Each structure stands twice: as C-alpha cells, then as structure tokens.
Amino acid sequence: MEKDEMTETSRIATFGAGCFWGVEAAYRQLPGVLSTRVGYLGGTMVNPTYRDVCSGRTGHAEVVEVTYDPARLSYDDLLTVFWENHDPTTLNRQGPDVGEQYRSAIFYHDDEQKAAAIASKDERERSGKYRRPIVTEITPASTFFEAEDYHQQYLEKRGLASCHIG
C-alpha cells in the first residue's frame, strides 16, 4: 500500500534495532502490516544519505517505519517483534554492526505509543531475561528520511529470509 493510499484507520510505528534490512523483513511478515519503509531518523542532518549516516556524524539511526492496521495488529505486537529481533542491551551495536546508527530505539508518534513503549521496556527489564541493562532509547519521532531505493525490501529483493542477526 502506498503512503497516499493509507486509510484513516492505519497507524505508523518506527523502530531502530540495528541494520534496517533484517528489521524490515521481520515486520513485513506480520498480518496487519500494510507497508514498511526503511530510512533514517533521530539525527541532525536534513536529507542524509546512507553514506552520511554511516559516517557517524549525523546522529541518525537506521529505522523501519511500519504502517499497520490496528484492527488487525496491535502496537504491543509490534513491540514484541522489536524486542525479539535484536539485543537491546548493546549500546550502538548489533552483532558485527557498530555505530550510533545501529542503536536500539523506539520512536513514538503519540502519548499512547510512548506509554506502551515504556511499559514494554520496564516489563522486559523486570523479566530477568537480560544479564545486562536494556539501553533502548524511547524518544519522540522526528522527521523520517527515506533511505535510498536499493535499501527498500533489500532482503526480499535478494530472496533472503533474514540478516545475520536473529
């Protein structure tokens, strides 16, 4: 579904959990996800490129913007996928990918998402699942800059199921 085809009932959620290729692939499989876009969010440069973001000078995270139907898929379900598909205890790193752009981040779009994200993080911290503290940032969504076309649905275009991080 293209952005201009979205209905009044769709919602947007944005997550940073390492390399955006694998994160996007995880979300695209969910019934109720209408579309995904990978891009950059949370930095200071306007219209950054992949090369800019990888330089470590823009402050952006690689993110996935998920447009979903809340009648079919809840924000809490999206949060579960977020937590299950990366290590939220590593600062600015996921597996071999190192840098601020790979940070663990939930970018909320309204107060309801903020409250759900905080509650979800608190629940996981209390669960005892992680040996180290969770470093995931929970911050308001700012301007989303769509990544270059070759990054969109990268794994799907290449017939791959996932990245090296599971």
Q: Is 19 in the active site? A: yes
Place of tokens 């995904």: 36
Output phi, psi for 135, to 5 deg. Answer: -110, 10
* Catalytic residue chosen out of the listed positions 13, 19, 23, 41: 19
State the Cα–Cα distance between residues 141 and 126, nearest whole angstrom: 26
CB-based contact 39:146 (threshold 8 Å): yes
For the CA atoms of 74, 110, 35, 78, what is the dihedral angle to 10 degrees?
Answer: -30
Which candidate, 147, 148, 50, 35, places its Cα nearest to that of 99?
50
Residues annotated as catalytic are: 19
